[in-house]
Amino acid sequence: MDIHTLKGKRAVICGATQGIGRAAAIELANRGADVTVLARDQETLEKLCSLLPAGSHHALAADFSDNEAVRAAATHLASGPVHILVNNTGGPPGGPIVEATADAFVAAFRAHLVNNQILAQALLPRMREASYGRIINIVSTSVREPIAGLGVSNTIRASVAGWAKTLAGEVARFGITVNNVLPGYTKTQRLDAIIAARAKAAGKEPELIARDMKAQVPAARFAEAWEVAAAIGFLASPAAAYITGVSLPVDGGRIAAI
């Protein structure tokens, strides 16, 4: 058996219109999975499906700010086999935690943790039937070290990590793993927005902010989205069957903790 192939597996990938989600869709399709991409923009998702290697790929639109829309999508997805769920959605707006409103925390909690729960609950029975399941959450290195200026995000990301660790312990005996991938500074629109916000707050050019951020990374560069996707592909594969409940940094060595 090829322990790295995903041939014969159906993967659902959230937030696949851009960045890490898009790269994950390409990675899993390249490994042989049939991919369903889930996000708001149906047209962009369909274009992505047309670029993927041969397989049974589908686009499904849902707005992650609407839990009921996600629930409807999850019900539709559960009508067929699903082996892999990649939970991924855009991070909350930045800003100091002392300035964050209660509504900002609630909105972020619903967009991230509540949607993760809705999708997992709907798809877990299918994974149990197959005796194969992979739930992979794209979170942040802030799970280990909070990032200045991302107060709401730091809080919600930590809650997702706690949810995932709890779920991992409950479903492992069914051949289902639950893991988190913690991207470091990765070339995405999210990173562009963070750099722009920091530049505005500091009255500096974005290039100087980016240079300072790279200086914090032992690898001395930002990650490419495909590098994060490669970790997702491994965790989705049979090769990772005995890895569960972990938070895997893909950060060029930036996290200082052992």
- For 192-209, what is each residue's pLDDT tens digit? 998 998 999 999 999 999
Residue 29 predicted with pLDDT over 80? yes
Residue 54 predicted with pLDDT over 90? no
Percentage of the chain beyond pLDDT 90 is 92
Return phi, psi of residue 133, to 5°.
Answer: -155, 140
Mean pLDDT, the chain, rounded, equals 96
Query: Is 257 inside a domain boundary?
Result: no
Query: Is 201 inside a domain boundary?
Result: yes
Give mean pLDDT, residues 185-189.
94
Judgement on whether residues 125 and 235 belong to the same structural domain of the protein: yes
Judgement on whether residues 162 and 59 belong to the same structural domain of the protein: yes
Give mean pLDDT, residues 71-84.
98
**Tens of pLDDT, residues 85-116:** 999 998 898 899 999 999 999 999 999 999 99
In sequence order, the β-bridge partners of residue 181 are 138, 248
Tokens 């995932």 belong to: 164
Judgement on whether residues 234 and 126 belong to the same structural domain of the protein: yes
Alpha carbon distance 209, 206 (integer Å): 5
Judgement on whether residues 128 and 206 belong to the same structural domain of the protein: no
Q: By the 8 A CB rule, do 16 and 250 touch? A: no
Judgement on whether residues 24 and 118 belong to the same structural domain of the protein: yes
Give mean pLDDT, residues 231-249.
98
Alpha carbon distance 120, 160 (integer Å): 13
Give mean pLDDT, residues 62-76.
97
Judgement on whether residues 39 and 133 belong to the same structural domain of the protein: yes
Query: Is 32 inside a domain boundary?
Result: yes
Confidence bin at 15 (pLDDT 50/70/90) = very high
What pLDDT score was predicted for residue 258? 81
What pLDDT score was predicted for residue 136? 98
First CA to last CA distance, the chain: 34
What pLDDT score was predicted for residue 242? 98
Query: Is 5 inside a domain boundary?
Result: no
Give Cβ neighbours of residue 168 (< 8 Å, ≥ 6 apart). 177, 178, 179, 244, 245
Judgement on whether residues 192 and 82 belong to the same structural domain of the protein: no
Residue 19 predicted with pLDDT over 90? yes
Tokens 């890895």 belong to: 243
Structural domain count of the chain: 2
Residue 2 predicted with pLDDT over 80? yes
Domain containing 59 — which CATH number?
Answer: 3.40.50.720
Which whole-number Å values give the CA distances from 110 to 4, 80, 227, in the listed order? 34, 26, 28
Give mean pLDDT, residues 244-251.
98
Give mean pLDDT, residues 212-240.
98
Judgement on whether residues 92 and 216 belong to the same structural domain of the protein: no
**Domain carrying residue 132:** 10-184+225-250
Judgement on whether residues 210 and 155 belong to the same structural domain of the protein: no
Q: By the 8 A CB rule, do 83 and 176 touch? A: no
Query: Is 161 inside a domain boundary?
Result: yes
What pLDDT score was predicted for residue 103? 97
Confidence bin at 118 (pLDDT 50/70/90) = very high
Query: Is 132 inside a domain boundary?
Result: yes
Judgement on whether residues 130 and 196 belong to the same structural domain of the protein: no
Give mean pLDDT, residues 144-153.
93
Residue 237 predicted with pLDDT over 90? yes
Query: Is 167 inside a domain boundary?
Result: yes
Judgement on whether residues 137 and 58 belong to the same structural domain of the protein: yes
Give Cβ neighbours of residue 227 (< 8 Å, ≥ 6 apart). 186, 250
Confidence bin at 171 (pLDDT 50/70/90) = very high
What pLDDT score was predicted for residue 93? 87
In sequence order, the β-bridge partners of residue 248 are 181
What pLDDT score was predicted for residue 158? 96
Judgement on whether residues 14 and 80 belong to the same structural domain of the protein: yes
Alpha carbon distance 222, 220 (integer Å): 7
In sequence order, the β-bridge partners of residue 187 are none
Query: Is 3 inside a domain boundary?
Result: no
Give mean pLDDT, residues 174-192.
96
Residue 149 predicted with pLDDT over 80? yes
